Structure 1
Amino acid sequence: MSLRALGRLVRGRPGPWQRGTATLTVSPQSSLADESVCIRAEGLRPHQEVTLRAQVHGGRLFDSSALLRADGRGSLHAGRSPSLGGDYLGVQPMGLLWTLSPASMEPPHCMLRPGTDLTGQPMRVDLSLHPGHTRGSVVPGQVLAKQVIERWFSKPGVRWIRLREGKIRGSLFLPPGDGPFPGVIDLFGEEGGLTEFRACLLASRGFAALALPYFGFEDLPMTLTDIHLEYFEDAIDYLQKHPKVKGPGIGVIGSSKGADLALSIVTFIPKVVASVCISGCNANTLSDLYYKDVHLPGLTHNIDKIKVLDSGILDLSETLDDPNKNQKSIIPVEKAEGRILFVVGEDDKIWNSKLFAEEAIKRLNAHGKSNYELLRYPGAGHHIEPPSSPHCSALYDQFLGYPVLSGGEPIKHCFAQQDSWQKIQQFLQLHLH
């Protein structure tokens, strides 16, 4: 080969990468955890292949990646540039955050949740850009650019109050300003304890939100035993009397077991005028429920119907007792005067929340009631949370000692979280005003 030909060949190849020529930007860099962000890279070679990675360092390490290709100007935009591999495919502006999962060295099947200091510290997401397409568990090499995203669960001025009022335990979050604000009680499921991040986000969106545990916290029962609605009524009365809360009606939002509680509360306690039931049942589940002269026995799981998948994950989708064969457990939802919003994923593998919502609606219709709305999402699983929460298809159950299948496809599930979160806020604002 002649020297001239060799020179042409060398000039046609890309030269060595010069550190610092690429830039990675996020807009906004600091935002509430339920807001979308725009991720861009500039200064790449035309059509250069790169790997974009995200990492969250907390008690455990979560990560995700996307394999991207720059355009003819050496730029890429997560909202327009399709991922060619990694943890998602195609154009998904929030795909990198939606698909965060435990890193390979971490225990699998755990959910990404914020730390305990919701009003003082953001969740930090570290972004890094690497040359080439890094696949699987291969550790990427050279870093072309870095950026940090701050995801806050509290906007400036949100007030956090740890509550010990009579028998009531929990955390009250108040929006900035004088108020008064619409009041909402927030309930989670059979994992117990105090879960605050959704209430904190609700306060950042203008609600006086009380994260209310009902077992497994401080001096409350350590396990899920008989439930007395008077405890929740005391919390409702507390909110109604609070000077920062706009009355007279109170809202309630619940997930999983918390959802059938939210349905029971709006049925039996008229002070609640709006109830959001996420992935719930139309019957009382897991423990007996009492209120004045009312007693609803709890549906239980038949452990003989548990399926063990090849992956070692437990499938409980067919284990819950059939409410129609346990009529006394069914919540008489036709008594409810408040508005009800059912939110369900059609791929819920904990139980058939779509069918349960339809059964509740059928009962309402049979009694001439139309005080309900239904949001149903194909491809969404059981744990429908605010958009800050990546998808988790199976979650380790501390009582069973094994991961339990919850269902859902990552992108479809996270779309359901984003869409339902906006509609839940609209529903509460409408009916609490």
Structure 2
Amino acid sequence: MEPMSSSSVARTLSPVLSVLPTRALVDERFRVVVANLPPWFPVTLHSLHQSEDKDYWEAYAHYVSNDRGAVTVSDDASVGGTYTGKEAMGLLWSMRPVPGSRKDQRLRKVDVCTPIVVTISVYRGHVAEGFQEQTPMASVVTERWYMAPGVQRIDIRERGVKGTLFLPPGLGPFPGMLDLWGGGGGLAEYRSSLLASHGFVSMALEYLSTEQQEVDFNYFEKAFSIVQEHPQVMKDRVGMFGLSFGTSVSLTIAASSKLVSPRCCVCISGTHVYPLNKPLLEIYANMNKEADKKRLDDQNCIIWRDTILPIPSDPEEKIDVRRLKCPLLLVNGDDDQNLATVESAEDIAKMMREAGNEHLLTTLTYPNAGHLIEPPYTPHFRASNFIVHGTREKVVMLWGGQTKPHADAQEDSWGKILAFLRQHLYPSPVTVLKAKM
């Protein structure tokens, strides 16, 4: 009798695919294993997600089973696909729109009360296209959550402030956070809900939305006070978390407010060049006056980083970070094409050094990472559609970054951000128990 070929053996076996945990927070790693394969057998692992906009996103990687007929994604190297090498979470962070999709999309979760559903499948051979036309050997559906069980979501419409408050499970009291996104405006809840899943009361603040005609410095002070005054919040342990323009807001409040005092600040991909000394619409109007400094790349994506260069030497044109009295964590990517964040961080350090408060500053700069440094395993977007506030102009904004280094930056920075917050917001060393899914 002739020996069976590997393809014949594959047809007689039933590969076993496991993804554990199948239900987890978005910043948790999973373990993907394929067993019961022939030895040295080529397979493709594929991930598929349908976004809330009904667009499909996918990633895939090529593997060869070991001598025991198994593939373990965290231990074995991908030899091709949307990522290569040993990458435990590559099936998530290397996701991209399937061929034929709308261009320049960005994947963001809107309804945090529902999970990100991802189907992991294993296919025979090394496949690079046409996944929907083929039948996988095995599939597993996984759920990725921003909001852990027991986290409460509360709409805030108070004192003219709009936002969403997230409360961790339990009675508290807990440290608090005011969470600020950037110049795209509107309300993004996913980071705040994830912070609550890690033990922080967090309010995602809405500003620069189409419904709000104007907000100013006082709006952010009131928002901070709403978090601070909540009965489940430690009143003297409230911080601020800003990305992009949210950094300018956080630094201005921390340096200038006479009403509120953040215990610490985390600022991602931002600058001190935009002090909040005027209503936001006026600030944006002044920003748009620097349009002659904007550039286009060879794909007609807008490069905005030069608009704040050179960094002003006059302290009156910048947020006076010399007056900061709370710990500050700056997180930047050195390939940020939207803002000159590395140059800003260097000037912030210089100003604080001259004032004798540089000991409060921690700076993380990641090589080949871009502007949109998000929670771990979020797909990387080098460029995406963007509506310029004020002019309502629709453009494709170049954010920068290379996929693998950017993914590494997101995972590393998130762990350090949580450690920073625990160090400065909890009253004593504490073990924060992550809610089980």
- How far residue 308 of structure 1 moved from its aligned partner, in angstroms, is 2.7
- In structure 2, the partner of 1:307 is 295
Separation in 2, partners of 1:235, 1:144: 52
Please, which of 246, 258, 273 is the counterpart of residue 283 of structure 1? 273
Separation in 1, partners of 2:356, 2:6: 74
- In structure 2, the partner of 1:150 is 143
Please, which of 193, 212, 216 is the counterpart of residue 220 of structure 1? 212
Is 1:385 the counterpart of 2:378? The answer is no
Separation in 2, partners of 1:305, 1:267: 29
- Cα deviation, 1:60-117, whole Å, max 9, x if unaligned, reads 111111111111111001111111111011111111101111111211222212231x
- How far residue 137 of structure 1 moved from its aligned partner, in angstroms, is 5.9
Please, which of 235, 241, 254 is the counterpart of residue 266 of structure 1? 254
- In structure 1, the partner of 2:384 is 395
- In structure 1, the partner of 2:339 is 351
Alignment of 1:31-430 (within 5 A): 31-58=24-51, 59=53, 60-116=55-111, 118-119=112-113, 121-136=114-129, 141-216=134-209, 219-221=211-213, 227-269=215-257, 270-284=260-274, 289=278, 299-300=287-288, 302-324=290-312, 327-369=315-357, 370-399=359-388, 400-430=393-423
Deviating more after overlay: 78-87 vs 399-408? 399-408
- Cα deviation, 1:211-245, whole Å, max 9, x if unaligned, reads 0112206x422xxx6x5211111112222221010
Using a 3 Å threshold, how does the CA distance of structure 1 residues 261 and 407 change in structure 2: closer, same or farther?
A: same
Contact 2:89–2:377 (CA<8 Å) still a contact in 1? no
- How far residue 283 of structure 1 moved from its aligned partner, in angstroms, is 1.3
- How far residue 207 of structure 1 moved from its aligned partner, in angstroms, is 0.3
- How far residue 404 of structure 1 moved from its aligned partner, in angstroms, is 1.4
- How far residue 179 of structure 1 moved from its aligned partner, in angstroms, is 0.4
Contact 1:297–1:329 (CA<8 Å) still a contact in 2? no
- How far residue 327 of structure 1 moved from its aligned partner, in angstroms, is 4.7
Deviating more after overlay: 393-402 vs 257-266? 393-402
Separation in 2, partners of 1:427, 1:21: 47
Partner AA of 1:384 in structure 2: I
- How far residue 205 of structure 1 moved from its aligned partner, in angstroms, is 0.3
Separation in 1, partners of 2:416, 2:7: 50
Separation in 2, partners of 1:296, 1:410: 30
Contact 2:82–2:94 (CA<8 Å) still a contact in 1? yes
Contact 1:296–1:329 (CA<8 Å) still a contact in 2? no
Q: In terms of Rg, which structure is larger?
A: 1
Separation in 1, partners of 2:227, 2:187: 18
How many residues get paired?
415
- In structure 1, the partner of 2:431 is none
TM-score (norm 1): 0.90
Using a 3 Å threshold, how does the CA distance of structure 1 residues 13 and 250 change in structure 2: closer, same or farther?
A: closer
- In structure 2, the partner of 1:3 is none
5+ unaligned residues in a row in structure 2: which ranges?
Answer: 427-437
For the residue of structure 2 that corresponds to 1:408, the secondary structure is coil
Deviating beyond 6 angstroms after TM superposition, the runs of 4 or more aligned structure 1 residues are none
- Cα deviation, 1:179-199, whole Å, max 9, x if unaligned, reads 011010000001100000000
Contact 1:289–1:296 (CA<8 Å) still a contact in 2? no
Using a 3 Å threshold, how does the CA distance of structure 1 residues 19 and 105 change in structure 2: closer, same or farther?
A: farther
For the residue of structure 1 that corresponds to 2:306, the secondary structure is coil
Partner AA of 2:424 in structure 1: H
Contact 2:31–2:74 (CA<8 Å) still a contact in 1? yes
- How far residue 44 of structure 1 moved from its aligned partner, in angstroms, is 1.2
Using a 3 Å threshold, how does the CA distance of structure 1 residues 72 and 362 change in structure 2: closer, same or farther?
A: same
TM-score (norm 2): 0.89
Using a 3 Å threshold, how does the CA distance of structure 1 residues 238 and 139 change in structure 2: closer, same or farther?
A: closer
- How far residue 16 of structure 1 moved from its aligned partner, in angstroms, is 6.0
Contact 1:300–1:320 (CA<8 Å) still a contact in 2? no
Deviating more after overlay: 104-113 vs 79-88? 104-113
Separation in 1, partners of 2:5, 2:407: 43
Contact 1:170–1:194 (CA<8 Å) still a contact in 2? yes
Deviating more after overlay: 228-237 vs 128-137? 128-137
For the residue of structure 2 that corresponds to 1:276, the secondary structure is strand
Aligned identity (percent) is: 32
Separation in 2, partners of 1:312, 1:56: 28
